[in-house]
């Protein structure tokens, strides 16, 4: 990764030289097409030459290479300053977080807003097959017309439209197979247990305590005592000899009484996951007449998850059209609807029943094929037969030791634990426009977006009866499962009413565009949750599997909520051009935000900018065809949601019993809202240059920005004597600055021969916390994690998002301090660096020759930090390869130190004297959890990744003469086919672009790669 910067420079220079040496061909493109028209804030079309801020647009042919339904993955690597913290592909229905220009808020790291044809939408509801282009607006200079909601940027999507020229029909079908891309690197020498080779013993049948049928096992080898339920792999070395496996003890097993070979199962984790098929089929119809144009499309997505018993099924319907009543009056309308269901358990936190077991608590000898085959196997007592049982020596058919100890067969869990989320979304927009006079147009619009989801989960008795914790019939064990269920209903509705006047006029050499408008936005969040803690210890169903809230030992408390927020807004913008060379633009917006609980809730956003087309002042030449300088300043107040300031009374989880009566309880509000609370103000300065060379064959853009965020409201802790927890007051300051570069070129351009188009982008951002509070140096940010290994702090004077945790204590020379046992001394509250990368970028190419085309995207980042809990527990549990590696003495680290084994540790003791010794492997790898030392599991988040690739063949049109088919193409696609490089310390090759949490991961589901076939037919 150290050579990444140099490699990028070489690539840029190589591209430039290739363009210069390419065959010069007469360019018939009109100046208008060179300079371009783009869709900007509020869906307003602007000539690119008049913009005073950075602008990057990605067209349809480059957006949807692999027929995805995700706008975030579609633009990563193609736009400078874009970073995706995605979810693993195995986690269906979730796309992760998109960052533009890093982060600047101390408390929030939200996505930009996503806009489809002028309407703010949920990006997860949009099928990319309907999108014609995406324009990324990154800073306040570009987004000020959206006001307070645009503090994190705007992704502007424009849909494909119908054409009045002809009726066209398109069929688009893609079949993809997804599979596990990579797992942790496991050791394959030692199996389940805790005592090495002493974990085995010879079975002696005891008729007084054991079932009679177990006499068949007399004299055979099996795991001794606690080693049966020890869910670690510190057991015997796998020797290929016979032993009694977990599934042979039960008389209903087809393998009852049989032994198996004690040998490694190198691919057992990978074998758990399926090769899963996805079918995506789209049909679209478009066309129109002189008065009417429209496009209608329908997409069906049917996706099986790689995790057994998981799926995503969704339908998308989109209709957009324009009706022109006469030369003055026209109406634009959009309807976008989707509905579907996600089925399955996608928990990827600590100790979850799939990846949380395989990566953290598992046996390297376990045969996954047997687990799958025997997922319905039960013990004589009716409990699920598990690899993680208490063993024959502790077996008790009437107590908790007849049940699994910690883990149920993962196939059994996925089959019976029902969890599904139904979701439907609606976007409706109607916008009449009326041309009042030449150059003057009025437009009014109404839009509604509505997203509704219902999540239901059910813990059936067939699973719950295996629980051995409090609330079960046989309490005393570790596994807490209770028969129960829950329902969560959420709905978000947004209505927008808008009116706008647009005036465009040319006065001699002056071009004027002026816009003024008003907007009222009503937002509402409402829903209810009634849930039982099915992995808890207190609440269960009285009659098993009767999923009714009246059937509970403790009444269920409903938790309804209903929040509303309103914006009342006025806005205006103007752009003036002189001699098609000098441009000045300005915009202003005033938002009245109901989330502020005082009368001073009116806030102003503005931007002012200018651009100069220097090529118009230079002698005409074929070298520099376009040369624009641009600069601007802007300010946006930050939004504040209704939920942050709402002084709610929170319902208690259980009713209060007074005598024979039950009463609802509520918690008194614990936050004080500071008087005169105001939004944070984001001030930005931006300058840049845009160049086009060689008759538009090569393009280059560069932008520098410097943004400050002042007086952000943060919660400041109060003394307990106040009766409150904290007060929300304006306090914090931060800043970010950075550079964005984008280079693109047509290396070769030919209508019939070979063509090559390439683009590369690079962005560097640095976000710094300037101030937290007069009485605070830091404030915590981010996700909670198991065992509190790490936290994300915003600390004054340091970069945004510092990862803190317990580190290894070191002397002034950096040597680790080691105690008398050979274990590390530790240092709490150590800073490991920011979670944000130093720089990001992407490399996109398209090649074509006659009817064949190839496109691919590579994206990369350098720096940033992340923590892996799976790695910590994988080491502690003896699962990972480093726990069974060879040491420098030529022995396995698991061999006794006295026999040449052990882990070598070097450093100094507390007096500074050198230490060089060997430590027993189990002691070494288990020390980190004992002292919560996070340092060895914090890694650099650098990577280079081939994100997507597609090869298409356009069949000759002569094949379809007189068939009604205008063209047909067949393509091969691949998603995430190759994680090319990661940092050396990221030895298990976790994909830093697919981490489930801001801090890293707690029990990560695996990354996926997918390969598909696409067929597209046009009539």
Classify residue 542: in a domain, yes or no.
Answer: no
Q: Is residue 195 in some structural domain?
A: yes
Dump pLDDT digits (tens) for 218-263: 999 999 999 999 999 999 999 999 999 999 999 999 999 999 999 9
Q: What are phi and psi for residue 69, nearest 5 degrees?
A: -115, 20
Check residue 471 and give its pLDDT.
61
- Model pLDDT for residues 941-955, shown as the tens digit of each residue: 999 999 999 999 999
pLDDT at position 29 is 36
The answer to whether the beta carbons of residues 772 and 732 sit under 8 Å apart is: yes
Q: What pLDDT shows up at residue 26?
A: 35
- Report how far Cα 391 is from the mean position of its chain's Cα atoms: 41
Say what the pLDDT of residue 749 is. 83
| Whole-angstrom distance, CA of residue 353 vs CA of residue 212 | 33
Whole-number CA gyration radius for the chain: 32
pLDDT of 648 above 70: no
DSSP 8-state class, residue 233: B
**Range from 431-445, 649-663, 671-685, 888-902 carrying the lowest mean pLDDT:** 649-663
CA angle 526, 782, 346 (to 5 degrees): 65
Q: Position of tokens 């099924």?
A: 313
C-alpha distance from residue 268 to each of 253, 570, 813 (Å): 21, 61, 44
Query: Is 90 exceeded by the pLDDT of residue 760?
Result: yes
512 part of a folded domain: no
CA 391, 393, 397, 399: dihedral to nearest 10 degrees? -90
Beta-bridge mates of residue 553: none
pTM for this structure?
0.91
Q: Which of 856, 865, 901 is nearest to 883 (CA)?
A: 901
Whole-angstrom Cα distance, residue 726 to residue 718?
Answer: 5
Q: What is the mean pLDDT of residues 433-453?
A: 96
The separation between the first and the last C-alpha atoms of the chain, rounded to the nearest angstrom, is 48
In the chain, the number of structural domains is 1
Distance CA 596, CA 65 (A): 44
What pLDDT, in 10s, does the model give residues 9-25? 333 333 333 333 333 33
- 830-865 pLDDT, tens per residue? 999 999 999 999 999 999 998 899 999 999 999 999
Task: Read off the pLDDT of each residue in 70-86 and give the average, rounded to a whole number.
Answer: 90
Mean pLDDT of 492-501: 96
Would you say residue 104 lies in a domain? no
pLDDT digits (tens, 9 = 90+) for 585-600: 999 999 999 888 777 8
How crowded is the C-beta side of 780, counted as CA atoms within 13 Å?
A: 12
Helix (H, G, I), strand (E, B) or coil at 714: strand
Determine the 3-state secondary structure of 129 from DSSP: helix
| 197 inside domain | yes
| Paired tokens of 380 | 């004589």
Residue 218 within a domain: yes
Q: Please give the DSSP secondary-structure letter assigned to residue 617.
A: T
Q: Residue 937 pairs with which residues in a beta bridge?
A: none
Q: Give the pLDDT of residue 812.
A: 95
**Phi, psi (rounded to 5 degrees) for 346:** -115, 25
Q: What are the angstrom distances between the C-alpha of 895 and each of 33, 194, 416, 539, 876?
A: 72, 14, 42, 47, 17
Tell me phi and psi for residue 36, to 5 degrees.
80, 155
- Nearest CA to 994 among 85, 93, 307, 179? 85
Q: Is residue 471 part of a domain?
A: no
1001 close to 990: Cβ distance less than 8 angstroms: yes
Place of tokens 């929030």: 108
Q: What is the pLDDT of residues 966-1015, one digit of tens each?
A: 899 999 999 999 999 999 999 999 999 999 899 999 999 999 999 999 99
The secondary element (H helix, E strand) that includes residue 286 is: strand 276-288
Q: What is the residue-averaged pLDDT of the chain?
A: 90
Mean pLDDT confidence for 279-283: 96
Backbone angles phi, psi at 718, to 5 degrees: -110, 160
Structure letter (DSSP) for residue 441: E
Q: Which of 52, 45, 50 is nearest to 141 (CA)?
A: 52
Tell me the pLDDT tens digit for each residue of 58-70.
Answer: 988 888 888 877 8
Strands 37-39 and 45-47: antiparallel
**Spacing of C-alpha 770 from chain mean position:** 28
* 88 C-beta neighbours (distance < 10 Å), count: 25
pLDDT in tens, 855-905: 999 999 999 999 999 999 999 999 999 999 999 999 999 999 999 999 999
Give the whole-angstrom CA distance, residue 48 versus residue 37. 6
Instruction: Return phi, psi of residue 657, to 5°.
Output: -90, 120
Dump the DSSP string for 649-702. Answer: -EEPSSPEEETTEEE--EEPP-EEEPTT----EEEEEEEEEEEEETTTTEEEEE
Q: Are 877 and 896 in contact (CB under 8 A)?
A: no
**Cα torsion through 667, 673, 675, 678, rounded to 10:** -160
Check pLDDT > 60 for residue 912: yes
Beta strands 311-324 and 656-658, pairing class: unpaired
CA–CA gap between residue 464 and residue 480 (Å, rounded): 8
Give me the domain span that covers residue 246. Answer: 190-263+362-405
Q: Which residue has the tokens 């220097």?
A: 614
| Beta-bridge partner residues of 826 | 808
How is residue 394 written in tokens? 């502790």
**Inter-helix orientation angle 869-876/921-930, to 10°:** 140
Spatial contact of 893 and 884, defined as CB atoms under 8 Å apart: yes
pLDDT of residue 399: 86
Percentage of residues in the chain having pLDDT higher than 90: 74
Contact 540, 552 (CB under 8 A): yes
Any domain includes 208 = yes
Going by their DSSP bridges, the two strands 311-324 and 671-673 should be labelled as unpaired
- 782: β partners: none
Kindly report the backbone phi and psi dihedral angles of residue 152, in degrees, each rounded to the nearest multiple of 5, phi listed first. -105, 10
487, pLDDT greater than 50: yes
Could you tell me the two tokens for 105? 């808020």
Question: What is the per-residue pLDDT for 18?
Answer: 34
The pLDDT, as a whole number, for residue 4 is: 42
Give the pLDDT score at 60: 84
Measured in whole angstroms, how far is the alpha carbon of residue 846 from the centre of its chain?
A: 27
């Amino acid at each position: 990764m150290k050579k990444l910067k140099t490699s990028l420079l070489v690539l840029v220079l190589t591209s430039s030289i290739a363009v210069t040496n390419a065959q010069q061909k007469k360019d018939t493109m009109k100046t208008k097409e060179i300079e371009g028209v783009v869709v900007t804030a509020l869906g307003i079309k602007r000539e690119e030459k008049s913009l005073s801020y950075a602008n990057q647009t990605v067209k349809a042919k480059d957006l949807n290479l692999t027929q995805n339904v995700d706008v975030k993955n579609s633009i990563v690597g193609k736009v400078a300053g874009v970073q995706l913290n995605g979810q693993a592909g195995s986690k269906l229905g979730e796309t992760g977080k998109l960052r533009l220009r890093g982060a600047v808020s101390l408390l929030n790291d939200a996505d930009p807003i996503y806009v489809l044809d002028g309407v703010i939408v949920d990006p997860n509801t949009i099928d990319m097959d309907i999108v014609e282009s995406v324009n990324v607006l990154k800073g306040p200079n570009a987004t000020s017309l959206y006001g307070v909601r645009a503090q994190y940027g705007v992704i502007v999507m424009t849909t494909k439209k119908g054409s009045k020229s002809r009726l066209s029909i398109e069929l688009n079908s893609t079949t993809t197979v997804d599979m596990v891309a990579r797992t942790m690197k496991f050791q394959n020498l030692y199996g389940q247990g805790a005592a090495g080779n002493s974990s085995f013993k010879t079975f002696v049948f005891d008729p007084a305590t054991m079932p009679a049928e177990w006499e068949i096992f007399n004299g055979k080898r099996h795991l001794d005592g606690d080693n049966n339920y020890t869910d670690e792999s510190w057991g015997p070395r796998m020797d290929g000899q016979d032993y009694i496996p977990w599934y042979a003890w039960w008389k209903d097993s087809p393998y009852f009484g049989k032994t198996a070979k004690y040998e490694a199962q190198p691919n057992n984790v990978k074998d758990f996951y399926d090769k899963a098929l996805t079918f995506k089929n789209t049909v679209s119809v478009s066309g129109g007449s002189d008065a009417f144009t429209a496009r209608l499309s329908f997409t069906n997505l049917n996706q099986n998850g790689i995790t057994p018993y998981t799926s995503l099924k969704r339908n998308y319907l989109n209709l957009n059209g324009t009706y022109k009543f006469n030369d003055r009056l026209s109406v634009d309308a959009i309807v976008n609807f989707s509905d579907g269901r996600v089925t399955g358990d996608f928990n990827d936190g600590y100790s979850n029943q799939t990846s949380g077991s395989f990566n953290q608590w598992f046996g390297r000898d376990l045969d996954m094929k047997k687990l799958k085959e025997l997922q319905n196997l039960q013990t004589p007592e009716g409990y699920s037969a598990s690899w993680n049982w208490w063993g024959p020596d502790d077996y008790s058919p009437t107590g908790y030791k007849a049940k699994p100890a910690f883990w149920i067969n993962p196939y059994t869990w996925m089959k019976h634990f029902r969890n599904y989320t139904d979701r439907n979304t609606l976007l409706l927009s109607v916008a009449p426009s009326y041309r009042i006079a030449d150059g003057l147009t009025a437009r009014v619009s109404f839009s509604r977006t509505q997203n509704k989801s219902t999540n239901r989960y059910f813990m059936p008795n067939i699973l719950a009866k295996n629980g051995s914790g409090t609330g079960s019939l046989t309490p005393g064990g570790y596994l807490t499962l209770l028969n129960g269920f829950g329902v969560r209903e959420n709905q978000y509705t947004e209505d927008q009413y808008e009116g706008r006047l647009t005036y465009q006029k040319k006065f001699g050499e002056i071009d004027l565009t002026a816009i003024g408008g008003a907007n009222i936005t009503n937002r509402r969040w409402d829903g209810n949750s009634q849930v039982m803690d099915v992995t808890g210890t207190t609440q269960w169903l009285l009659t098993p599997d009767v999923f009714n809230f009246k059937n509970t030992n403790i009444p269920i408390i409903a938790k309804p909520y209903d929040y509303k927020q309103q914006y009342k807004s006025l806005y205006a913008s103007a752009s003036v051009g002189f001699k098609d060379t000098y441009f000045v633009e300005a915009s202003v917006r005033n938002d009245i935000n109901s989330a502020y609980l005082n009368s001073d809730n009116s806030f102003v956003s503005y931007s002012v900018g200018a651009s100069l087309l220097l090529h118009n002042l230079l002698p005409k030449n074929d070298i520099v065809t376009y040369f624009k300088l641009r600069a601007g300043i802007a300010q946006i107040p930050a939004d504040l949601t209704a939920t942050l300031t709402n002084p709610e009374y929170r319902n208690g989880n259980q009713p209060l019993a007074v005598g024979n009566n039950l009463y609802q309880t509520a918690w008194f509000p614990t936050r004080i809202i500071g008087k005169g609370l105001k939004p944070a103000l984001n001030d930005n300065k931006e300058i840049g240059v845009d160049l086009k060379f060689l008759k538009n064959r090569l393009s280059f853009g560069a932008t520098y920005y410097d943004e400050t965020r002042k007086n952000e409201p943060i919660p400041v802790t109060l003394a307990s004597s106040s009766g409150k927890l904290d007060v929300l007051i304006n306090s914090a300051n931060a800043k970010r600055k950075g550079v964005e570069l984008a280079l693109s070129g047509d290396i070769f351009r030919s209508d019939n021969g070979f063509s090559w188009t390439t683009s590369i982008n690079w962005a560097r951002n640095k976000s710094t916390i300037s101030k937290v509070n007069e009485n605070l140096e830091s404030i915590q940010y981010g996700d909670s994690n198991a065992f509190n290994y790490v936290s994300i702090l915003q600390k004054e004077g340091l970069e945004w998002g510092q990862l803190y945790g317990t580190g290894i204590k070191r002397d002034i020379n950096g040597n680790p301090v080691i105690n008398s046992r050979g274990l590390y001394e530790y240092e709490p509250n150590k800073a490991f660096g920011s979670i944000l990368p130093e720089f990001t970028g992407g490399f996109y190419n398209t090649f074509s020759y006659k009817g064949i085309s190839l496109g691919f995207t590579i994206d990369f980042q350098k720096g940033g930090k992340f923590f892996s809990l799976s790695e910590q527990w994988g080491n502690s549990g003896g699962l990972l390869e480093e726990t069974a590696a060879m040491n420098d003495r030529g022995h396995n680290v698991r061999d006794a130190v006295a026999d040449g084994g052990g882990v070598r540790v070097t450093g100094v003791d507390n007096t500074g004297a050198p230490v060089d010794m060997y430590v027993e492997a189990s002691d070494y790898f288990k020390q980190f959890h004992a002292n919560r030392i996070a340092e060895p599991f914090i890694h650099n988040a650098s990577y280079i990744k081939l994100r997507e690739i597609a090869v298409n063949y356009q069949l000759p049109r002569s094949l379809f003469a007189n068939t009604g088919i205008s063209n047909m193409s067949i393509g091969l696609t691949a998603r995430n086919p190759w994680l090319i490089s990661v940092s050396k310390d990221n030895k298990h090759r976790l994909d830093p672009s697919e981490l489930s949490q801001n801090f890293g991961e707690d029990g990560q589901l695996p990354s996926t790669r997918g390969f598909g076939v696409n067929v597209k037919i046009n009539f």
